[in-house]
Amino acid sequence: MRAVTGLWRWRHNPLRRTTDLVEAWVALVAAVALCVAVPLAGWAAGSSAQRSLQRAIHAQQQGRAETTARVLRPAPTPPGPAASSEQAAEQRFRRAVVADWTAPDGTPRTGTVTTSRGSASPGDTFSLWTDRTGRPVPAPLARDTARAHAFIAGLTAALLAGLGVETVRRLVMRRLLLHRYARLDRAWASVGPDWGRTGTGS
pLDDT at 156 over 90: yes
- pLDDT tier at 117 (50, 70, 90 boundaries)? confident
Whole-number pLDDT of residue 89: 54
Average pLDDT across the chain, whole number = 81
- Residue range 30-59: average pLDDT? 92
Amino acid at 102: T
pLDDT at 91 over 70: no
Q: Measure the CA–CA gap between 87 and 140, rounded to whole angstroms.
A: 22
pLDDT at 154 over 80: yes
- DSSP letter at 75 equals P
Return all residues near 57 (Cβ < 8 A) that are at least 6 apart: 140, 141, 143, 146
Q: Measure the CA–CA gap between 157 and 172, rounded to whole angstroms.
A: 23
For the entire predicted model, the pTM comes to 0.63
- Residue range 153-160: average pLDDT? 95
pLDDT tens-digit readout, 56-83? 999 988 889 999 999 998 887 765 555 5
Environment class of 200 (CB within 10 Å of its CB; exposed 0-12, middle 13-18, buried 19+): exposed
Q: Measure the CA–CA gap between 8 and 10, rounded to whole angstroms.
A: 6
- Residue range 91-119: average pLDDT? 86
- pLDDT tier at 43 (50, 70, 90 boundaries)? very high
Of 33, 4, 1, 40, which is closest to residue 164 (Cα–Cα)? 33
- Residue range 141-158: average pLDDT? 93
Angle at 133 between CA 130 and CA 138, to 5 degrees: 25
Return all residues near 132 (Cβ < 8 A) that are at least 6 apart: 63, 64, 65, 104, 105
